Structures are given as structure tokens and as C-alpha cells.
Structure 1
Amino acid sequence: MIRNISDVMTSPPITVDPGASLREAAEVMRGSDVGDVIVAEGDTLVGVLTDRDIVLRCVAEGTDPDTATARSVCSSNVATVPAQSSLRDAVDVMRTDALRRLPVVEGERVVGVVTMGDLAMAVDSDSALADVSAAPPNH
């Protein structure tokens, strides 16, 4: 039975160093088949970097992804939830802040990530979002 976020989150989170180039971050995303990575110094959350951030804040601006860093384009004022949070708590934060992914923390340490897809599969495994989230990659 699912009791809290730690039951559905992806752990450990996929991370990159704040100084990693955006090309390196994109390679990590591709290799891990994810659309986002946690930007972290050790276990400390610095921000969240998405594939969309790379496209809109780097490529579309004409910036070189080999020289731009994860820190320079990641979202840094990031909402989080504690690992012991309920699914409802995570849904409420995601809804209020219009988020698709949410870092999970224990104190100052980032320990996982929960996505809309994770929540859909946990709450309604027959939903369209759960089906899409569970599908194999199409690349």
C-alpha cells in the first residue's frame, strides 16, 4: 500500500553538477531517458533543469550549450516536498505551482523526484497519463 511520496518517487535522483555544460546535462537526460535532472552540489539541491530549459534558455537564445552551465539556466527557486509527504501533499504543491516534477527532500538533502506520471500510475493506473508514463521510450 502506498503511504507517502517515498513509495512512488524515483530515487536516487538523476543529478548533474551546477558547472556541467548543458550538452553534458542533455547527454545525461538522453542516457537516463528523462526530461529533467536535479542540479545539485553533492546532495544539496541547487535547481531543476529540464530539456525545455535547455531549448528555450540556451538554444533559442543562440547560446553555446558547450559553454552554458546547468546553473545558468536551471530553475533555482524550486518547490520541494519531504519524503514523508502524502500523495495529496505532493499533488497540492504541483497543482499550486503548476509543476510536472517535484524534488523530494530529507532536510537539506535531495533524495528523489516525483513526477505527474509517478502520481498518475500510483493513483489511477488506468488513466491515459499513467499509460503514457509507463510506455517505453519512442526515440
Structure 2
Amino acid sequence: MAQMVREVMTAPPVEVSPQAYVTDVARRMREEDIGAVLVTEDGHLRGLVTDRDLTIRVLAEGGDVSGTRVREACSTELVSVTPDDRIDRAVQLMREKAVRRLPVVDPDRDRAVGIVALGDLAVERDPGSALGHISAADPNQ
């Protein structure tokens, strides 16, 4: 059983600039079959944007979204883990902060190197659970 974040994280992470248009980010999420991307600038983590962020912070507001930048939709107050953190630490942070995804940051380089999601942890820790089954299943597009 995996013990370290590096063993379950998705790497490399998909990254976009804060200046990217949300429509381009949404297309990228669809193409890559992912629900979150890291927002980086000059290689440094600036935020995280999820498919839910795009829906709640952009689409639900109405109007023309074609000119909306990802910096207007992303979460910027982030909590992260390192590749060498124990999985238990990731679980603890997700519970405390009520988040489903954590950026994985290499502290020596101050660079995002991956992302770990609740589904990744469910597949690893509880593969027989409903969330484990759903997270391990092929996407249905």
C-alpha cells in the first residue's frame, strides 16, 4: 500500500496561466479528462481552478464568458503537500480544509510537481468503496 503522496499523485500537473481564458481552460479539462488545473505564473503556483469553480464563479453569473480570465475564477488561498508527505497528511488536510484536491509542491524548487485528488486517495486506500469504484472507472464522455 502506498504511503507517500508521490506514489498516488498525478504528475506532471496540467498548468495554465492566470491570463488564460476560462473557455480555453474548460476545453483543456475536457480534452485531458480532468476536473482541475493548477494556475501558475513563472513556474510558481498561483491558484487552482476546478470545473466546479468555472460553473459557480463564471457560468452561474451569466453574461458573456468568452473574455473571462482564469484569474477571476480560481482559488488562490491554497493548501498544498509535498511529494514526500505521507498520504495521511493529505487526508488530514483535505478533511480540515474541506477540499478535494491538493497541489503537490516540491519545496526545494518551489514548483508544482503534481496534484492529488480525493479520488486518488479513495482508489489507494478504499478501492472497494463507491468513491473508489467511481474514481477507478474509465471516463464516460
Match of 1:119 among 111, 118, 121: 121
**Runs of 4+ displaced beyond 2 Å:** none
TM-score under structure 2 normalisation? 0.94
Q: CA offset at residue 72 of structure 1?
A: 1.2
Quick one: structure 1 residues 44 and 63, their matched pair in 2 at CA, closer, same or farther if it must change by over 3 Å?
farther
Partner of 1:49 in structure 2? 49
**Per-residue deviation, 1:128:** 1.2
Q: CA deviation at 1:53?
A: 1.0
CA distance in structure 1 between the aligned counterparts of 2:121 and 2:89, rounded to whole angstroms: 11
Alignment partners' CA distance in 2, 1:8 and 1:99 = 17
64-73 or 96-105, which deviates more: 64-73
Query: For residues 63-112 of structure 1, what are the alpha-carbon distances to aligned partners after superposition, in whole Å with 9 as ceiling and x for unaligned?
Result: 43221111111000111011100010000000000011110011221110
What do the CA deviations read for 1:3-30 (whole angstroms, capped 9, x no partner)? 3000100000011111100000001100
Deviating more after overlay: 73-82 vs 36-45? 36-45
Distance in 2 (alpha carbons) for counterparts of 1:125 and 1:64: 41
Aligned residue number for residue 23 of structure 2: 23
Correspondent of 1:129 among 125, 128, 131: 131
Quick one: distance in 1 between partners of 2:34 and 2:64?
Answer: 22
Equivalent-residue separation in structure 2 for 1:75 and 1:126 (angstroms)? 32
Q: What stretches of structure 2 of length at least 5 have no aligned partner?
A: none
Residues 1:33 and 2:28 are matched in the alignment: no
1:79/1:103 contact within 8 Å kept: yes
What is the CA–CA distance in structure 2 between the aligned matches of 1:26 and 1:131, rounded to whole Å? 25
User: Superposition RMSD on alpha carbons, in Å?
Assistant: 1.1
Paired residues in the alignment total 139
SS in 2 for 1:82: coil
Q: Distance in 2 between matches of 1:61 and 1:79?
A: 27
Report the TM-score when normalising by structure 1.
Answer: 0.95
Letter in 1 for 2:133: D
Larger deviation, residues 121-130 vs 74-83: 121-130
Query: Structure 1 residues 127 and 42, CA, compared in 2 at 3 Å: closer, same or farther?
Result: farther
Q: Percent identity?
A: 43
Q: Distance in 2 between matches of 1:5 and 1:63?
A: 40
Q: Which residue of 2 aligns with 1:104?
A: 104
Alpha-carbon contact 1:58-1:64 (below 8 Å) kept: no
